[in-house]
Amino acid sequence: MELMYSPLSPYVRKVSVVAHEHGIAGKLRLTKVNTRSEPERVAPLNPLGKIPVLITDAGAALYDSPVICEYLDAEFGNHRLLPATGPRRWEVLTRMALADGLLDASIIVRHERARPPELRSADWIDWQMRKVRTGLDHLESVVGSFGDIDLGQVAVGCALGYMPLRLDEVVGFPHWPGLRAWFDRVSQRESFRATVPVL
């Protein structure tokens, strides 16, 4: 299998963590791409021009990260991280959607802040930062009930690992001590240690 990736992408990290959890990281041939400077390499596989993209051994191009993670878990992990059926499946998928949404909002803020001051929208930044805060507040209120690792937690861990690199407001998770403690623990897993983003 081939994984199109960029080194810092938290969405790619989700896929890598799942691969490590299932002991199949070695099966992934990693192809580094820059989606901005070489969009022609990604667009034929993902018309949205985004990574990660996984090309299976059968030649299918899969995107985006939830699809790839579910594929790896179903094919190689016997659904350990995402139950195939039942109420927990929907709980796990919903938690992953929240974590991915936190990443989406954080990345929007980062891009908006990178614009020239005269083009920057403070309202838009506030609106996205509100999502960041309410998302983290929600996770703080439920983190005590997290059980064995699942795909939702993988996504939360990858989001928490990325957000402080881009948003000063969340460095050290000052308002979310339960999440910080949980993140410290999950970061000790081999799958997380092997995939730490390096700036």
Strand-strand pairing, 2-5 and 29-32? parallel
Among 1, 3, 4, 11, the residue binding ligand GSH under the rule CB under 6 A is: 11
Among 2, 28, 49, 165, the residue binding ligand GSH under the rule CB under 6 A is: 49
The answer to whether the beta carbons of residues 143 and 163 sit under 8 Å apart is no
21 binds ligand GSH (CB under 6 A): no
Among 18, 20, 22, 64, the residue binding ligand GSH under the rule CB under 6 A is: 64
What pairs with residue 30 in β-bridges? Answer: 3
Among 20, 22, 50, 95, the residue binding ligand GSH under the rule CB under 6 A is: 50
Which is nearer to ligand GSH, 20 or 166 (by Cβ)?
166
Looking at this protein, which amino acid is placed at residue 28? L
Among 3, 45, 51, 163, the residue binding ligand GSH under the rule CB under 6 A is: 51
Give CA separation, 150 vs 50, 140, 155, in Å: 24, 17, 9
Q: Residue 62: CB partners within 8 Å, gap ≥ 6?
A: 53, 54, 55, 56, 68, 71
Among 65, 106, 153, 195, the residue binding ligand GSH under the rule CB under 6 A is: 65
The answer to whether the beta carbons of residues 70 and 28 sit under 8 Å apart is no
Q: Where are the beta strands (DSSP E) in the chain?
A: 2-5, 29-32, 53-55, 61-62
CB of 182 to ligand GSH, least distance (A): 22
73 binds ligand GSH (CB under 6 A): no
The answer to whether the beta carbons of residues 158 and 104 sit under 8 Å apart is no
70 binds ligand GSH (CB under 6 A): no
Alpha-carbon radius of gyration of the chain: 17
Tokens coding 66: 């939830």
Q: Which 91-150 positions form the footprint of ligand GSH (CB under 6 A)?
A: 100
Tokens coding 108: 């929007």
Which is nearer to ligand GSH, 3 or 25 (by Cβ)?
3
56 binds ligand GSH (CB under 6 A): no
Number of residues lying near ligand GSH (CB under 6 A): 11
Among 1, 3, 4, 9, the residue binding ligand GSH under the rule CB under 6 A is: 9
Binding site for ligand GSH (CB under 6 A): 6, 9, 11, 35, 49-52, 64-65, 100
